[in-house]
Amino acid sequence: MAKIKTKYVCHECGYESPKWMGKCPSCNSWNTLVEEVVASQSNARHIMVTGEPTKTKPEKITSIVTKDEPRIKTNMREFNRVLGGGIVPGSLVLIGGDPGIGKSTLLLQVSAQLADSNLDILYISGEESTRQTKLRADRLGVKSDQLYVLSETNLVEIVNQIEYINPSLVVIDSIQTIYRDEITSAPGSVSQVRECTSELMRIAKNKHIPIFIVGHVTKEGSIAGPRLLEHMVDAVLYFEGERHHTFRILRGVKNRFGSTNEMGIFEMKEEGLREVMNPSEIFLEERSQGAAGSTVVASMEGSRPVLVEIQSLISPTSFGNPRRMATGIDHNRVPLLMAVLEKRVGLLLQNQDAYVKVAGGVKLDEPAIDLAIAVSIASSFRDKPSRHDDVLIGEVGLTGEVRRVARIDQRVQEAAKLGFKRAIIPSKNLDGWTPPVEIDVIGVNTIQDALKKTLGDRD
């Protein structure tokens, strides 16, 4: 009997090694090499070179005829927004998220809405039986004869059902449970996930059927399986949020057919997910008025401005090295802005602990939130609250200047719509647009000017 040959493959980057190693030499990740069986060489196919193309031939780019294909719209405008305007026919979309966050609920609701629009939908569950899926459908009020449910993990059977039904949309829940008989490794391994996704991508492109696949998430927060999986699909969406809170955020990190900065807000109810049309009101509804260290910033999430509250707590340290902690923003931004406040404004912050948080669980990463963070830190340090109807927008430089930001008109209009009376913005952003009459727009050049306008500093 021939000896079975094995190899070790890194499930982060796909690096192959003949022996196990604790650290991958390619991506420097620890404990990521898994054992797989090597296929016999007798089954390998050799490429026959004939010198002439057989099926497909290259075309001149000027002779290729294109047309605008209509997207498949769902009743969830937040879902359509994240995808760039709707589901693109023939696209392969990967959705990841923590267990129990609501990925299956979201896709079952989307499938039911499209089935009600007279489209044939195939929902394939590899983790639940058809009766378990029916129990969730009853709770969500799903009743459509054009929604087909299949409990299967064999890729061959799944492909046969897609050929037979020819649906308008396919949902695979989840890709880690699907396997091919030709591959000897277990379902969820690097080889199984890669080959199954490749076959599903071929079906999506050839038959022009959009396919959604669900991917499990590792403890580090990334989608389980090889990183190659995210490069193969057309779009990667993350479903985020705390399991014990009602709000969920659908965020796009890759999208070949739209922006990757879009964000959709949902609220988990007993009857399923309900989209939140105005997330700014949700993020600000529990804000305390007159509290020191609280400011509001208008941040752009894709094409939509969102107003969120930034909270800071500055207290004397009891350690040798003061602590700097941040939630919802880059933790390196807090000591940078504190250094600017200490050098340019004269605030003695080197012996203070700093805790900065973005309320509501949203994550912000654009430079326009710098001014709100800096004023929030100064407000908590001075124990002097800023006006509750102020919104602050601007990037802070290392020399203390407040720099211009993009889409200032949309940010200010959103603040005016929610009842804010003043907008502190960079002076360079005052020209070229007309602010709303119900809000007072004030331009500042430096962080010192911003503190004078918001905290009434006399320095």
Among candidate residues 362, 455, 356, 447, the one with its CA nearest the CA of residue 398:
447
Can you give the length of the chain in residues?
459
Dihedral pair phi/psi, residue 454, rounded to 5°: -95, -40
Binding residues: 97-104
pLDDT of residue 216: 77
Q: Which amino acid appears at position 317 of this protein?
A: T
Q: Is 74 in contact with 87 (CB distance < 8 Å)?
A: yes
Q: So where are the chain's domains?
A: 6-42, 73-277, 282-455
Q: What pTM did the predictor assign?
A: 0.76
Do 6-42 and 282-455 agree at the fold level? no
Q: Are strands 211-215 and 169-173 parallel, antiparallel or unpaired?
A: parallel
Pure H helices in 166-216: 190-207
Question: Residue 218 is encoded by which pair of tokens?
Answer: 């590792």
Pair type for strands 211-215 and 147-151 = unpaired
The pLDDT of residue 413 is 92
pLDDT for 454 equals 93
| Domain range 73-277, CATH class | alpha beta
Please give the Cα distance from 249 to 273 (Å, whole number). 11
**What number of other Cβ atoms are within 10 A of residue 3's Cβ?**
5
Neighbouring C-beta atoms of residue 383, cutoff 10 Å: 9
Taking the C-alpha atoms of residue 380 and residue 93, their distance in angstroms, rounded to an integer, is 44
The CATH topology of domain 6-42 is: Rubrerythrin, domain 2 (2.20.28)
- The amino acid present at 367, given as its one-letter code, is P
- Residue 160 and residue 352: Cα distance in Å, rounded? 65
The alpha carbon of residue 418 and the mean position of all alpha carbons in its chain are separated, in whole angstroms, by: 26
Q: Which pLDDT tens digits describe the chain residue by residue (459 residues)?
A: 556 678 888 877 778 888 899 998 888 888 888 887 776 554 445 555 555 655 667 888 888 887 777 899 999 999 998 998 899 999 999 998 888 888 999 999 999 999 999 999 999 999 899 999 999 999 999 988 999 999 999 999 999 999 999 999 999 998 989 999 888 777 887 788 888 999 999 999 999 999 999 987 765 555 555 566 888 899 999 888 766 667 888 988 889 988 877 888 898 888 889 988 888 888 888 888 888 999 999 999 877 899 999 999 999 998 888 999 999 999 999 999 999 999 999 999 999 999 999 988 788 989 999 999 999 999 999 999 999 999 999 999 999 999 999 999 999 999 999 999 999 999 999 998 999 999 999 999 999 999 999 988 654
pLDDT at 343: 94
Residue pair 240/362 in contact (Cβ under 8 Å)? The answer is: no
Calpha distance 420→413 (Å, rounded): 10
How far is 371 from 395, CA to CA, in rounded Å? 6
DSSP percent split of the chain into helix, strand, coil, nearest 5: 30, 25, 45
CATH of region 282-455, choose from 3.40.30.10, 3.40.50.970, 3.30.230.10, 3.40.190.10: 3.30.230.10
Q: Left, alpha or beta for 293 (phi > 0: left; psi -120 to 50: alpha)?
A: left
Report pLDDT for 459.
46
| 263 within 8 A of 351, measured Cβ to Cβ | no
CB 397 within 8 A of CB 336: no
CA distances from 119 to 104, 144, 396 (A): 19, 10, 51
Mark the binding-site residues for ATP, compressed into ranges: 97-104
pLDDT of residue 194: 85
If phi > 0 it is left, if psi is from -120 to 50 it is alpha, else beta; for residue 166 that is left
191 neighbors 183 (Cβ within 8 angstroms): yes
Three-state DSSP state, 246: coil
Quote the Cα angle for 189-194-196, to 5°.
95
Element holding 116 (H helix, E strand): helix 103-116
For residues 241 and 254, the answer to whether their CB atoms sit within 8 Å is no
Residue 176 has a pLDDT of: 87
Q: E strand or H helix at 136, and its extent?
A: helix 130-140
Instruction: Determine how β-strand 169-173 pairs with β-strand 235-240.
Output: unpaired
